[in-house]
């Protein structure tokens, strides 16, 4: 099992949800408004200088769904024009 942390532009929420539905990922936590800065999506601090927010998803997945999600993010990030989308993969040691 892996803990996958997905940070994306809030405008991509629909695409992420659609991927989850197509791939049977129905257990996740969504934090709808997060701010931050990164190379993939620029700076979004929800203020006058850096407008916009991101959305964060936490997903615990087995090998199949985790691999599919990683492949989807890799493929999306190859596109020249895109919104911010980043995935972090963490080994899940215990779930209580």
DSSP string, 20-33: HHHTT---EEEEEE
Q: What is the tens place of the pLDDT at every residue in 33-78? A: 999 988 767 899 999 999 999 999 999 999 999 999 999 999 999 9
Can you give the pTM of this predicted structure?
0.91
Q: How far apart are the first and last CA of the chain?
A: 13
């Amino acid at each position: 099992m892996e803990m996958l942390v997905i940070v994306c532009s809030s405008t991509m929420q629909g695409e992420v949800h659609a991927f989850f539905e197509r791939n049977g990922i129905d257990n996740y936590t969504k934090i709808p408004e997060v701010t931050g800065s990164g190379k993939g999506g620029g700076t979004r601090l929800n203020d006058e200088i850096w407008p916009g927010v991101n959305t964060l998803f936490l997903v615990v997945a087995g090998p199949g769904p985790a691999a599919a999600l990683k492949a989807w993010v890799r493929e999306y990030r190859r596109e020249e024009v895109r919104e911010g989308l980043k995935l972090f993969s963490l080994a899940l040691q215990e779930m209580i």
